[in-house]
């Protein structure tokens, strides 16, 4: 993974905002306020979320405790997203990388995107099986020399944590349906905001 420097101040401000936002209850997760099942949306609506988090994956990540992406820029004419991907490891070291997502389809709503790193190299392809304003289920195919594996993943945003158990269970059940996986790797959102341990940037 290509590492790069970035403005730590803006990152810390973003983290501080999120910490304040999710600290509405003693457990750090806001109280449930949504009871209806979510309606399906096009992937672009979920992709515009300010921050998204990897919640479940069919792959094992023994050293990773948090994977999240910050929305940086949306190029409307090119329909391309630039996101800042952050991976935090159990050692509390992290890797950060700019990722550019481009749609496979030239016209019309897209469900399949290619992901390019900051050097312009293809690193993986993602296809959205299901998307709502709370979560997205994707098929991911890696295209690097180090990793050519595939995965099925559940990504969520802050709406997911605010929505309550009905929405959360619905997203999880859809993950089982589309990914056909019941023993998946689960990531704890609290590890993304544990301020008791310093995060060391690689």
Q: State the pLDDT at residue 112.
A: 92
For residues 67 and 54, what is the distance between their CA atoms, to the nearest angstrom?
6
| Neighbouring-strand partners of residue 88 | 66, 94
Q: State the pLDDT at residue 150.
A: 87
CATH number of 8-201: 2.40.128.20
For residues 112 and 43, what is the distance between their CA atoms, to the nearest angstrom?
9
Q: State the pLDDT at residue 156.
A: 97
Half-sphere exposure of 61 (CA within 13 A, CB side): 22
Q: State the pLDDT at residue 114.
A: 92
Q: State the pLDDT at residue 1.
A: 43
Q: State the pLDDT at residue 118.
A: 82
Q: Where are the domains of the chain?
A: 8-201
Element (H, E) at 19: helix 8-22
For the chain, 202 residues long, give each residue's pLDDT as a single digit of tens. Answer: 433 333 333 333 333 333 334 333 334 444 445 556 777 788 888 888 999 999 999 988 889 999 999 999 887 777 788 999 999 999 989 999 999 998 887 676 788 999 998 888 888 999 999 999 999 999 999 887 666 678 999 999 999 999 989 999 999 999 999 998 778 999 999 999 875 665 565 5
- Helix and strand element counts for the chain (H, E): 4, 10
**Whole-Å CA distances, 37 to 5, 23, 133, 166:** 41, 25, 11, 7
């Amino acid at each position: 993974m290509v590492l790069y420097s970035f403005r730590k101040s803006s990152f810390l401000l973003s983290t501080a905002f999120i910490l304040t936002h999710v600290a509405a209850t003693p457990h750090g997760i806001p109280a449930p306020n949504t009871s209806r099942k979510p309606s399906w949306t096009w992937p672009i609506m979920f992709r515009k979320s300010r921050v998204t988090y990897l919640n479940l994956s069919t792959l094992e990540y023994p050293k990773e405790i948090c994977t999240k992406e910050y929305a940086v820029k949306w190029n409307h004419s090119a329909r391309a997203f630039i996101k800042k991907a952050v991976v935090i490891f159990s050692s509390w070291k992290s890797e950060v990388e700019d990722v550019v997502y481009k749609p496979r389809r030239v016209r019309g709503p897209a469900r399949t995107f290619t992901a390019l790193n900051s050097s312009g190299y293809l690193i993986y392809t993602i296809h959205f099986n299901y998307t709502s304003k709370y979560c997205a289920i994707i098929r991911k195919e890696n295209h690097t020399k180090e990793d050519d594996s595939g995965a099925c993943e559940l990504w969520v945003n802050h709406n997911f944590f605010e929505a309550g158990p009905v929405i959360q269970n619905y997203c999880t059940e859809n993950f089982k349906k589309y990914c056909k996986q019941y023993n998946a790797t689960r990531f704890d959102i609290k590890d993304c905001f544990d301020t008791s341990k310093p995060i060391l940037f690689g």
